[in-house]
Amino acid sequence: MDFSGSHILSIDQFNRSDIEKLFSVADSLEPYSSKIKVTRVLEGAILGSMFFEPSTRTRISFGASFNLLGGNVREITEVGSSSLAKGESLIDTAKVLSGYSDIIVMRHPDEGSVQKFAEASRVPVVNGGDGANEHPSQALLDLYTIEKELSQNKKSIDGLRIALVGDLKYGRAVHSLCKILSLYSDITIKLISPEALKLPVKLAEQLTKANIEVIETENLEEGISEVDIIYVTRIQEERFKDKKDAIKYKGLMTLNQSIYTANCEPNTVIMHPLPRDSRNDANELDSDLYENPNLAIFRQADNGVVVRMALFALVLGVENQINKFSKPVNWKINRDL
């Protein structure tokens, strides 16, 4: 893929060399995300941040990433956007709003809507999540985290054994991650979910076609043994037609320290796309894991910043100019209070 000027809509756009390029840029941005240096390379650029569905972490992560490159952010957070409420088509909205931005990130509850918007947009559009469909930056930061965590144990993504736990039916993060793992060799995916929340059949078939070993089970303890990564997800209550159905599946699978100790290989890494549901009736990832050094969930969230910065830098074609516009940080860094 030629990143420069491209929309980033789906994980299907990426091949292995694209991902390597992206991760290499992300690595180079680490001094900026950790505030060793500041860059102003995008000074004067505007990110249109358009969230037609509530979001906190994804919206702030994209916005902060753009600020860290020196750019400004203009935001639409109104769920019932005023223009759409007045009968404006998504195409008109795209034509107009793309005149006010250099790049757009968009989240929308309807599958395919971001692609439709991008077709009409006059600037590149990054998909920040369209319904249960795609959320490519999440899959990319997940894979980036997998690589970073595995490299601590001298392992690489080829040969990965990963357990996906929870709501595999509606979780778009899981869907995108499955697709991206198909680019690698010798992958084993263990799918652990209640029967009703299984990975869509079509997607499971794609995995098999891509020579991924797929093992399905409803047994958490069995599923999390003999893997490198456990990737836990939240029951996506908001995507169920009937909320009562969602409640049935909450709390069925809880990973805590004792289950971990009893079943996992040493240094099995725990991931979660967050937010995790910490209410008593759900609690898919118990808070007694806070002290477990293999709990990578906050490192994973942090990785979102460099991965999103790298996406912006590549799409806007500034990946080789970042250091040229760098400055020292004036303030004291207090990240580890």
- Which residues partner with 72 through β-bridges? 46
* 88-107 residues near a second copy, rule: CB under 8 A: 88-89, 91-93, 95-97, 99-102
Segment lying near a second copy (by CB under 8 A), choices 8-16, 76-84, 186-194, 198-206:
76-84
Query: Pattern 264-303, binding to a second copy, x per CB under 8 A?
Result: ----------xxxxxx--x----x----------x--xx-
Segment lying near a second copy (by CB under 8 A), choices 11-19, 68-76, 177-185, 257-265:
68-76
- Least spacing, CB of residue 297 vs a second copy, in Å: 8
* 110-139 residues near a second copy, rule: CB under 8 A: 121-124
Q: Using DSSP bridges, classify how beta strands 37-39 and 326-328 pair: parallel, antiparallel or unpaired.
A: antiparallel
Please count the residues of this chain forming the interface with a second copy, following the rule CB under 8 A: 84
Segment lying near a second copy (by CB under 8 A), choices 130-138, 175-183, 190-198, 316-324:
316-324
Integer angstrom CA distances of residue 123 from 81, 317, 333: 20, 13, 35
The torsion angles phi and psi of 228, rounded to 5 degrees, stand at -90, -35
* 213-252 residues near a second copy, rule: CB under 8 A: 234, 237-238
- Least spacing, CB of residue 125 vs a second copy, in Å: 9
Separation between Cα atoms, residue 302 and residue 307, nearest integer Å? 9
Separation between Cα atoms, residue 327 and residue 32, nearest integer Å? 10
- Which residues partner with 46 through β-bridges? 72
Residue 70 is a binding residue for a second copy (CB under 8 A): yes
Query: Pattern 22-41, binding to a second copy, x per CB under 8 A?
Result: -------------x--xxxx
The torsion angles phi and psi of 89, rounded to 5 degrees, stand at -75, 155
Q: Return the residue of 48, 129, 131, 136 that touches a second copy, per CB under 8 A.
A: 48
> In which element (H, E) is residue 192 found?
strand 188-192
DSSP label at residue 266 = T
Q: Which residue is associated with the tokens 């997940």? A: 142
